[in-house]
Amino acid sequence: MQLEEIYKKGCNYPENFFYGEILGNAKLYEFPEGIFLLGNTSEEIELLWGVNKLEDLKYSIEKIKNENPDINFIFRYASNLKDVIKKKEIINTWGYVNKDINVGYRLSFDNMLDERSNQAFEYLEKNEIKEFLSFEKEVFDSFNVSEKELQDWLNNDEHIILTYKVSNKISGFIIIELYGTNNQNCFIRNVGVCKTERGKGIGKELILFGLEEAKRKGASKAMLWVGYDNTIARNLYEKIGFSLDEDEAEVVFHV
């Protein structure tokens, strides 16, 4: 079965999470309870899943874990915010720990506050890939970019990767993905600043400059994910003009 068929079949189940690209080492499992795909997404090993009812997920994960006792992986649940909070509590009783609930924030450039970046940032160069990957892992401990992804992104026009430097060393970055007809939408994948440079407004400047670049390339709307409990980041996005979308939420569990 081709990946496209697997994703389509998985998404047809009443309860499912079949989003994101499996980059390698894919294992397909088909049980009476549903369909499951275990493989690498970026630097994580993730289980994509589709089941008839949530309890089927519990028993299926146990089967897959028994077949792969030496592999640690993640799985996600996504829905509206109210449903995610409810299902998180249920899944926690299965013994799986979650890091955070992530919520979606959206921005129409028409509603963007009249504010522009006071600073210019550099586009990432190919000879900086190794430095970038090392820095990103210092800032974020999960969902890290793979070297292949970064190389692919630098070779197309659908990604904006900007860096902030101190003494010629990468000390901050933003990754934006353009998508949709004529690149009218953009997704802020990640914004990161090193500890010593935080509190200086660099993150906000990176976002503003990145959105200006996205707009220049045709974007008129933006979306991002942020931790529900990360009030500092949420306040920053709201000051720029982003609004919480309660229909977009997800939670990540570790197995």
For the residues 16-42, what does the mean pLDDT come to?
90
* CA–CA gap between residue 113 and residue 252 (Å, rounded): 32
> Which of the listed residues 77, 101, 125 is the one where a domain comes to its end?
101
80 and 115 assigned to the same domain = no
pTM (two decimals):
0.86
Which runs of E-coded beta strand occur in 32-123? Answer: 34-41, 44-51, 74-79, 97-108, 122-123
Q: Which has the closest alpha carbon to 177: 122, 234, 224?
A: 224
Amino acid 43: pLDDT: 67
* CA–CA gap between residue 203 and residue 164 (Å, rounded): 9
> Which of the listed residues 73, 101, 129 is the one where a domain comes to its end?
101
Per-residue model confidence as pLDDT tens digits over 195-247: 999 999 999 999 999 999 999 999 999 999 999 999 999 999 999 999 999 99
> Which of the listed residues 83, 101, 119 is the one where a domain comes to its end?
101
26 and 85 assigned to the same domain = yes
Per-residue model confidence as pLDDT tens digits over 182-193: 999 999 999 999
Q: Which has the closest alpha carbon to 185: 250, 113, 104, 126?
A: 104
For the residues 89-101, what does the mean pLDDT come to?
94
Decide if pLDDT at 47 tops 80: yes
Query: What is the total count of domains within the chain?
Result: 2
Residue 69 belongs to some domain of the structure: yes
The residue range of the domain holding 51 is 3-101
How much is the mean pLDDT over the chain?
93
Which pLDDT band holds residue 114 (cuts at 50, 70, 90)? low
Amino acid 168: pLDDT: 93
61 and 130 assigned to the same domain = no
- Domain containing residue 114: CATH number: 3.40.630.30
